[in-house]
Amino acid sequence: MGVNFHISPGGSLTGRIRVPGDKSISHRSIMLGAIAEGVTKISGFLEGEDALSTMNAFRAMGVVIEGPHHGHVVVHGVGKRGLKAPQTIIDCGNSGTTMRLLSGLLAGQGFAVTLTGDDTLLKRPMARVATPLKLMEAHIDTQESGRPPLIIHPVNQLKAIDYTLPMASAQVKSAILLAGLYADGVTTVVEPEITRDHTEKMLEAFGYKPEVLGNRISVDGSAVLKATTIDVPADISSATFFMVGASIAPGSNITLEKVGINPTRDGVIKILRLMGADIELLNESSVGGEKVADIHVKYAPLQGIHIPEELVSLAIDEFPALFIAAANANGTTILTGAEELRVKESDRIQVMATGLLSIGVKATPTPDGMIIHGGAYHGGVIQSHGDHRIAMSFAMAALTASDDITVIDCQNVATSFPGFDQLAKTAGLKISLS
């Protein structure tokens, strides 16, 4: 049964809130904890459906995992070669991260496994992961046009490669690096632009330091991982909706507690500041190698900008919300170099453009971005196409709309942000569900 958001216009965002744990780090903590030696203890784990898909996948391969219980998880690692063949097909749900990273981690195992997912995931491209893995002599079958399900056949040893990514993608990079842990020799990935480095940082937390030289990252197949303790910071992607909401709604004054501000993920802060947002970082610290801060945001008039392309890969998941900021800015905002947005949970360029146009925003989609002319807009009905970030972005758009906004098909919000509507209501958003 579908879930719809109904949001009345007006209001502001105030108070102190903590958004759920970082999705990227939660995924990787389970994956590396499972193949480490010893018992890994995790706090702040995101109990969203995507991260739970990763947890269930490893349980299916014989890993004992306790929890989650209020964000606490205990993973009893089985070592690099301790995973067992699952008795059933592994269902990755809606999680592209689960499928892509698992494909790399499982490519060098000595057993067969099939990875599938929901209808949305089955439409997402997997050839760009399968192609480099095949160069490593993995045996992976995809369906028509490189779509899932993925069928991974057993091989005893992968071959190390030196691979240049044709398009910046942290998920593809991570899949190759995880496969490299099972390869003979040193595997190197070269990025066209720097992407989020949670995999590299977490490998280091588990006792193995990859070699990083600028945009070249290398791992050695002889690496051994040792169990550790992980405190997952709040997710900057989830915090983004409140950063944008507070920036556009007069009277807003909100603090987002203990948010991860990894330098490969802070593009959204830089972009909003370039637009004139009033964002202050407080209580900066480091937790498990990840930078963390309280993010204090107050309302400020925004200006349209041409978003610097060097920031695009540092904010790739945050653009649906940034498009709402652009719709509220004075002047024109131009995004280029973001073709990756077309192959997310939805075609986020086209879906956002269609939604913005339907409420009266002048938005022109382009092959690799969008042109948005800021100004007043009205309410309406938005089709989210089952994309959690589209749904939450248009919920925040209602703060400055002239009429109600209804967002259809919001059940997948639980993949990354369980309890979004309640937390948003606490902060001042006039939201209800049906």
Last residue of a domain, one of 231, 256, 288: 231
Beta strand spans in 39-100 (E): 39-43, 64-69, 72-76, 90-91
Write the pLDDT tens digit of every residue in 18-55: 999 999 999 999 999 999 999 999 999 999 999 999 99
**Residues 249, 345: one domain?**
yes
Is residue 119 domain-shared with residue 165, that is, in the same domain?
yes
Per-residue pLDDT reduced to its tens digit, 175-192: 999 999 999 999 999 999
CA distance 55 to 77: 13
The last residue of a domain, from among 178, 202, 231: 231
Q: What is the DSSP string of 261-280?
A: --TTTTHHHHHHHHTT-EEE
Render pLDDT for 56-88 as a digit per residue (tens, 0 to 9).
Answer: 999 999 999 999 999 999 999 999 999 999 999
286 beta partners: 291
In this predicted structure, what is the pLDDT of residue 156? Answer: 85
User: Are 148 and 290 in a shared domain?
Assistant: no
* Amino acid code (one letter) for 416: S
Task: Identify residue 6 by its one-letter amino acid code.
Answer: H
Residues 165, 116, 122, 418, Cα dihedral to 10°: -90
Same domain, 45 and 154: yes
Identify whether residues 315 and 370 lie together within a single domain: yes
Q: How many CB atoms lie within 10 A of CB 300?
A: 18
Residue 345 has pLDDT above 90, yes or no: no
Residues 238 and 331 in one domain: yes
Kindly state the average pLDDT of the residues 268-273. 98
pLDDT of residue 246 exceeding 70, the answer is yes
pLDDT for res 1:
62
Q: What percent of the chain has pLDDT over 90?
A: 94
Closest CA to 262 of 241, 239, 236, 238: 236
In this structure, the dihedral spanned by the alpha carbons of residues 299, 301, 307 and 312, taken in order and rounded to 10 degrees, is 10
Same domain for 226 and 253, yes or no, is no
Write out the residue range of the structural domain in which residue 343 sits: 5-21+233-433
Q: Note whether 192 and 62 are same-domain residues.
A: yes
Query: 271 and 123 in one domain?
Result: no
Confidence (pLDDT) at 38 = 98
Among 317, 387, 409, 421, the active-site one is 317
CATH number for the domain harbouring residue 204: 3.65.10.10
| Domain termination residue (choose one: 212, 231, 250) | 231
Measured CA to CA, the distance from residue 390 to residue 43 in angstroms comes to 28
Mean pLDDT calculated for residue range 316-332: 97
Q: How far is CA 105 from CA 46, 76, 80, 217, 417, in A?
A: 21, 17, 10, 17, 26
What pLDDT shows up at residue 106? Answer: 98
Question: Over the chain, what is the mean pLDDT?
Answer: 96
Q: What are phi and psi of 291, to 5 degrees?
A: -70, 140
The pLDDT of residue 288 is above 80: no
Whether 319 and 398 share a structural domain? yes
Q: Beta-carbon neighbour count of residue 306 at 10 Å?
A: 12
Residue among 65, 73, 74 nearest 47 (CA): 73
CA distance 318 to 238: 9
What CA–CA distance (Å, rounded) separates 307 from 275?
9
For the cut 80, the answer to whether the pLDDT of residue 344 exceeds it is yes
| Averaged pLDDT, 399-426 | 96
Q: pLDDT, tens digit, for every residue of 136-173?
A: 999 999 999 999 999 999 998 999 999 999 988 999 99
Which amino acid does the sequence have at 153? H
Look up 231 and say whether it is catalytic.
no
Residues 139 and 243 in one domain: no
Expressed in percent and rounded to 5, the helix, strand and coil fractions of the chain are 35, 25, 40
- Count of structural domains, the chain: 2
Q: Which residues pair with 230 in a beta bridge?
A: 42
Looking at the structure, tell me whether residues 427 and 344 fall in a common domain. Answer: yes
Residues 328 and 302: beta-carbon distance below 8 Å: yes
